[in-house]
Structure 1
Amino acid sequence: MGKSTKHKKARVADFAKAKLKLGKGKQVASNATNTSISSRSIALPSQSLAATKDVPTSRRNLTLPELLVQCRHYSVPVKKEALTEVQQLLEAHEGLLHQHLLAIISSLSHLISDPVPSLRSQCRGVLSYIFDQLPTESIVSVSQGLILFTISSLSSLDEGVRIDSLKVLDLLMEKIPEEIVRGWDGSVDLEERDEGAKGDLMDKGVGGKVVEGLLGVMRVRSAGMSVTQGGFTSAASSDLSPSSRLAVLTTLATFLRSALSPHASSSSTPPPWYLSTSFSTPRSYSTFLTSLTPSTSTPIAIPSSAEIEPPSLPIEPFSLAFDGPSSDLALELLGLVSPPPKPYATAANGSTALQPTLLSLLHPTLLSSFLDAAPSAFSPTTLLTSTSSSHGADPELQTIVAVVGVARELYWREFGGSEAENVGREKERESARKLLVGMLGHASAYFPFGGDDLRERSAESTTSLLSLNLTFASLVSLLVLSSPSPSSLALRKPKSLKQTKTKTRKLDEMEKKIEVTVLNVREWVVAALKGELTSTLHPLGLPLTAPAYAALEPTIWSLLNQAPSSAEDKQAAEELWEAVLEHFSKVGGGSEVKKLAFGFVQRVVLIQTDPSYINRFTIPDAPSPSSKMGQWVLSLPKYLWELGVKHVETTETVLTFLLTLAQQGPKSLFSSLLPSLPAPLTPFFHLTHPTRGAIPGSFCKLPEGVQGKALDLVRYLLEEVEEKEAKRLRGAVRKAVESKGVGEGIRGRWGRM
């Protein structure tokens, strides 16, 4: 019985509900296992899913993707350390850059507008290193996001972010300028544009947005907003610090140089774009350039302003073609012709005014910046300070260079086009000419810049002063070419006699200022060609470099074609032309400057006989062997000897030029010089030295095509010279043709002659 009672109680206890006391939890079973973990972290480095043995890591044992994540960390020290290790990894492992290029550029783009200056500077350093390692195509492929972030940073509220974003923009302009300027046609948009998505904006180009951002940094009011408010104004950027103003002006000058310069070209020798207005049609200009291109060189790229359009019938832009009674039949809607330009804009009050241009908006800013920096930059006795040491250019001088550089590009766009491009733009050109006169009037007081320096300038400052003088001379030449003709002035009838007197007085005052400025520029150009420009570093004369001579060519051509108002002006043009010829004879034979000098004189000479030539300058008289022009032609055989075989393209160009003169026959302006050419030309083929004996000339080592042109020149010259000179030349050519290295084709060609 006892055992049965015991089992009954046990069964009841199994199903009984335990009564818990207040504050007591559930009791833990006696056989329970404690599974809690007291450690703060678990380190399992060997069990990571992303870890491999070949992935490069930094000194903190982080991979490149992990470092890129830390580049967006909220902590500044973490981001700095991550950027440092990113560059170290890229320098140690070149393959990482191409493998993670898009991710790297995307992470760095977010740091352009970071509020910490040191971090922005470090970001630019990494970007500069990356761009130096990549080809242009790779940079373009990943540049979309970087460009958009840079443009966005230009409108930041922090001035430091805006200025640092200009440095990134300068870096992009250096590497991929075509992508930055694409989509901007040089005008200021007056209507709001709907750019759409990011892809649409990049397809159209970001050049317009870049210009808007730069205008915003300079505190220049938007042109579209100005027109809608009934006029336009431009705030002078006086509230910017000197360093900030220098930064934005330098960036703007670089942008305009890439976007607007007609001579901007990828070729090593840019085409003579300044000659485009001297021909009646763009096709004639293109044909002239093609005739000057040697067969051993690449074809000359025609500037955009002189591109040949497909053959088509000319359509006059009369008003009925666009605003006719039946809009459905308008030529514009039918896609047969582009609409005419609209140089006028309607203001809010209904009045019609000239459409604001980038030049009109920037003119007050440029003028105020020039006036602020000029007294300090051009003071002859100002001591060098800590900001303008002898080891670099003066900041004020750099500001002046940037201002004049921006002005040059904008004014060349207004006046540098052909006559066909300027039809219907008379009022715009007149307004731009008034602005140019005003700017040159303030700048002419300091010209020539640095001419009266008593202090010692650095080499960089001396180069900047020369560039500044060249640019000023170029602007003055534009002023000369844009002078209105007397017939156009006569058509502008004033409303009253009082207005007539006032207008005449203002025009006379303006012309007097222009005459004085042009005279000073002409004297400076002649001194530059003669090597009479002096400085503290070059007391005996400053020689012209190849870039300086190339920049001087448009100015020389403009001054040569200036409309002569008196006999003194005509004589001054002749003196300038003689200085050009003298400069050629003083320069070394194999230098790049002499090559440019020959090319300029060659084009001026050959353009005289072109039937499409419409400009003023003509060679004064038929040159004789004793004249400057005759001495220049007779010195070309010596130039051929100096060139040797190291400059084959230039040698062929000189031979082609002489052959052209010989082919023109007795009616040529240079026919009297042909009998004097064989004697100096003989050493080019063969030379007999008193002690060294027979020496083959450089003819024997030239390509066969160039040798053929030399033989053609000899054939024409043999018909013009006396028997004695012809025998001597024929003997030299025979010895050269029979020498070792001359091909059988040239020998057979000479035998047939």
Structure 2
Amino acid sequence: MPKASKKPADFKKAKVKLGKGKQQASNATDTSFKARTIALPGQRLDRAFATPDEPVTAQGLTLDEVILRLRHPNAGVRRDALGGIKEILVVQPARDVGKVLRALGGVISDDDSGVRKTLLSLVGWYLSLQDESSLTPHIPLLLLHTSSGLSHIFPEIRLDACKLVHILLDHVPSHVVGSWPDCPAGSNNILEGLRLALGLQGDTGTTMSKTGSEGRLTALETLLAFLKFALRRTMDVQDPSSSFAGPAPIRNSSLQSLKGKEREVVGQVFSPGEYGYLAGTHNWAESSSSTFWDMSGLGVQGSGEDEQQITQLTTLYDQLAPLLVSTFMESAPVAFAPNRSNATSVDQTATSLCLVSASLTVHLAGAIRRDSGSDRAIRQTVFAFIRRMTPYFPFPSGRAAASTTLNGLTHGFEMSLAFASLVTLLLPATPVMTLPRSLASQGWVGRVQLINEAWSKIQLSSAVTSSGTGDISEEWAIGEVADWISTCLATTQDVTTAPLSSAAFRALLPIISDLIILRQKRVQTEDLSVPEPSSLVGEPFISHLLRSSSSSATRTAGDENLIDLVLIHEDLQSSVPFFLDLGSPLRHLIKIWLESLPKTLWEIGHKNDTATTNILEFLLRIGLRGRESFVAPYSLVPHTIFQEVSAKLASFFHISHPTRGHIAGPWIRLPNAWTRKLALDVARVWTPYEADLGRAVDLAVKGTDWERYWRK
């Protein structure tokens, strides 16, 4: 039987000849052509119901769609979604504020650093566009997300949460601080989160140590910003970053309390032209004692909220003090090493850590001292910090320390300023005198006796002992600070040394005032000619003031401060124990300053209405009291001043030039009508002491709308 034929194979591989390519299959599709890409718009049912004016991103996504992408598992998509939110909010910033803040709050704890960095930039930009009223209903939820980030297990997320708190403090500080320190302990989630971030509570392994010195600096700076607003709001403590730069002493300063009361009633009590007062007819002393010069309430403590505030502040300071001291001890050798000439990022971070540690000590210890009075425990911790700072004082102005801060000062100057502020915390609180009813009959003799008795009850300790070796007396520390201030205010021939800026001068003023008021020596006899150590800073202060330009910010701030000091000194009813001894060199300098006030008014002219108003108000008060009320030799205002100032004031209104004829003075160019009226009131009060002043005003107001007011 023959064999069956072989079945043909289904697939037969063709042999390729050498040098020949593979042949194209018979059923192959030709793909050699090219076509353009066709993009079809999304076709969704909800897009058809969207309003025509609803903004969309460049990809055509609405706000809801972009927010939904914040939950995407890919970090790049989440970062692009934040950019899409900003793209929509640029068109409509006030759109769905609550929805936007809820969405952004959920991204605070994102595990990608790029997403968190984009979030911080977006939140800072977005909050600056919104009114606080529109943010108020939605901020609590954002704060809950922020406090959750502050307690996160990853230190990088806690660090970015601290940065977010700093942003919120810049825009909505009242919501972040809340009622602290009036609230019960542990009720402020943000503060508790900052404590956890700094390792002040709970497990020490959750500190910012893993993020390095920069992470600790960020957390401490955030806590400092928190405390600044809380203390300014609840205790009416002046913010160092508003009226003056740098950390300043926060004590129970009667001078600062006077400024607030004094400014409230200026312009409402005296108006000789309107009410028909004449020089000498108004009993200024009685009005001052009954209206706004009564300071008997200073230092009086409440029973409820004040005690709770002190408890909160003391608890926080007790927890924070060891960290602040250790931070300074670790950073100071790096920041202020004498052999370092090149500024590096390490030097800058170390310098900032030293500054923020000192600033936190000043604010917390000062606030506690302000309310609780003499607290020996606080004095010991403050002195412990001073002992660590003493080897570096005055702090050098190297390249790292010479960089300018946000306050316009160098780090070196701010560190020296912080040291001086801490030293003033060791000073005894300014006592408040109890004024007897018989003081009016005793006059200056009785007042000086009361001042000596008030200061004699407060003694400077010879040394404040702390743990460790070596003691530093308070007298020595005061002398060091006074020498440094004198050096800052003194003239220098070195062209490489920058002159003292107006911001630095304003920062020194609270310390200068405290040292001038302080009576360090205890006078046991009735010999009032013994000089006081207030001249150590008082002489350089007034000399620097007289050298400054009349229109400068330095002269304006210094004049205001010196005016307040003179008014306190001259008020027999004041409860502030301040008196310059008869042999003090400051008396002669104050006389020169009083004689220079008309010249200052002339040179300021219409350039600075605030400075002009301050000087005119002071001259009006002095003139209304009358020459006879300033008793020599106790008073700082000598009788010769009245005629000299009156004669010089005439040129402020009108000048009779020998060749150019009649020239109007700066008074006619004052932009504020109220200031012009105040100047005419001053002229009316001071005219009895010099007739030329009245004739100059007659020529100045002739033919103007002010002629009728002057003729009253």
TM-score (structure 1 length as normaliser): 0.71
What's 1:366 paired with? 324
Code of the residue aligned with 1:544 in structure 2: it is S
Tell me, what secondary structure is at the counterpart of 2:85?
helix
Any conservation in 1 of the 2:151–2:193 contact (CA below 8 Å)?
Answer: yes
Contact 2:155 2:210 in 1 (8 A): no
1:419-473 superposed Cα distances (whole Å, 9 cap, x missing partner)? xx64xxx5xx11000000110011111111115x488944459622222222221
* 1:55 and 2:54 aligned: yes
Q: Which amino acid in structure 1 is aligned with residue 61 of structure 2? A: L
Q: Does the CA contact (< 8 Å) of 1:57 and 1:89 recur in 2?
A: yes
Tell me the residue number matched to 1:638: 599
Aligned partners of 1:533 and 1:542 also within 8 Å: no
The answer as to 2:651 corresponding to 1:683 is: yes
Counterpart position of 2:413: 466
**Cα distance change, pair 316–129 in 1 and its aligned pair in 2 (3 A):** closer
Q: Does the 8 A contact of 1:624 with 1:672 survive in 2?
A: no
- 1:145-187 per-residue CA deviation (whole Å, 9 max, x = no partner) reads 1111111110001000000001111100111111111121178
The alignment partner of 2:497 has SS state of coil
**Contact 1:682-1:729 at 8 Å conserved across structures:** yes
Give a deviation string over 1:104-153, Cα, whole Å, max 9, x none. 11111111110111110011111122122223333334322111111111
Contact 2:335 2:400 (C-alpha < 8 Å) held by counterparts: no
- The one-letter amino acid of 2:164's match is V
Residue type of the alignment partner of 2:604: L
Cα distance in 1 between the residues matched to 2:582 and 2:459: 33
For the structure 1 residues 342 and 118, does the alpha-carbon distance in structure 2 shift closer, same or farther, using more than 3 Å as the test?
A: closer
Whole-angstrom distance in 1 between the partners of 2:251 and 2:197: 37
Of 664, 674, 698, the residue aligned with 2:666 is: 698
Pick closer, same or farther for the CA change 1:712–1:101 going to 2, 3 Å. closer
Residues of 2 paired with 1:128 and 1:504: CA distance? Answer: 46
| Structure 1 counterpart of 2:700, one-letter code | A
- 1:530 is aligned with what amino acid? A
Q: Is the 8 A contact 2:530 2:583 kept in 1?
A: no
1:377 and 2:346 aligned: no
Match of 1:327 in 2: none
Aligned twin of 2:391: 445
Aligned partners of 1:582 and 1:121: how far apart in 2? 51
Q: What's the counterpart of residue 609 of structure 1? A: 570
- For 1:648, the equivalent position in structure 2 comes to 609
CA shift for structure 1 position 541: 3.6
Query: What SS does the aligned partner of 1:687 have?
Result: strand
**Residue of structure 2 in register with 1:321 after alignment:** none
Q: Are the equivalent residues in 1 in contact too, given 2:656–2:662 (CA < 8 A)?
A: yes
Match of 1:402 among 348, 351, 356: 356
Corresponding residue SS for 1:645: coil
User: In the alignment, which residue of structure 2 is the partner of 1:7?
Assistant: none
What whole-Å deviation, never above 9, does each CA across 1:661-712 have from its counterpart, x for those lacking one?
A: 1222223131231111123212101123455432201222345543343333
User: CA-to-partner distance for each residue in 1:506-550, whole Å, 9 max, x for gaps?
Assistant: 89x98743222221111111222335598xxx723432323x333
**SS of 2:136 mapped into structure 1:** helix
- Structure 2 counterpart of 1:246: 217
Aligned to 2:171: 175
Cα displacement (A) at 1:50:
2.9
Going from structure 1 to structure 2, the CA distance change for 1:181 and 1:612 (only over 3 Å counts) comes to farther
Distance in 2 (CA, whole Å) between partners of 1:673 and 1:631 is: 9
Distance 2:532 2:586 in 1: 21
Aligned match for 1:436, one of 367, 382, 385 = 382
**SS, match of residue 694 in structure 1:** strand
Q: Is 1:475 equivalent to 2:422 in the alignment?
A: yes
Q: Compute the TM-score of the two structures, normalised by the length of structure 2.
A: 0.75
Deviation at 1:77, TM superposition (A): 2.1
Asked whether the equivalents of residues 654 and 700 of structure 2 are also in contact (C-alpha less than 8 Å), the reply is yes
C-alpha distance in 2, partners of 1:612/1:234? 59
Equivalent positions of 1:104-119 (< 5 A) are 104-119=100-115
Letter in structure 1 aligned against 2:345: T
State whether structure 2 residue 703 is matched by structure 1 residue 751: no
Q: Is the 8 A contact 1:528 1:544 kept in 2?
A: no
CA distance in 2, matches of 1:684, 1:646: 14
Instruction: Go from structure 1 to structure 2 and tell me whether the alpha carbon gap of 1:486 and 1:592 turns closer, same or farther (over 3 Å shift).
Output: closer
Q: Which of these residues, 391, 414, 420, is aligned with residue 368 of structure 2?
A: 414
Residues 272-421 of structure 1 aligned to structure 2 (within 5 Å): 277-278=253-254, 287-292=261-266, 338=304, 341=307, 357-384=315-342, 386-387=344-345, 394-417=348-371
User: Are the equivalent residues in 2 in contact too, given 1:625–1:634 (CA < 8 A)?
Assistant: no
Q: How does 1:709-720 map to 2 (within 5 A)?
A: 709-720=678-689
- For 2:449, the equivalent position in structure 1 comes to none
Gaps of 5+ in 1: 1-40, 194-205, 226-232, 297-306, 318-336, 346-353, 493-501
CA distance in 1 between partners of 2:322 and 2:493 (Å):
32
Q: Give the superposition deviation at 1:659.
A: 1.8
C-alpha RMSD of matched pairs (Å): 4.4
Give 1:487 shift. 6.0
Match of 2:478 among 513, 518, 523: 518
Higher mean Cα deviation, 462-471 or 57-66?
Answer: 462-471
1:498 corresponds to = none
2:200 is aligned with 1:220: yes
Distance 1:409 1:506, change over 3 A: closer
Partner deviation per Cα, 1:64-112 (whole Å, 9 max, x = no partner)? 2111111122222221222222222333x2x2x3122221111111111
CA gap 1:344/1:171 in 2 versus in 1, 3 angstroms: closer
Gaps of at least 5 residues in structure 2 are 1-39, 271-291, 432-454, 524-528
* SS of residue in 2 equivalent to 1:156: coil
* Structure 1 residues 344 and 403: alpha-carbon distance in aligned structure 2, compared to 1, 3 A threshold: closer
Over 3 Å counting, the alpha-carbon distance change for 1:90 and 1:316 in structure 2 is closer
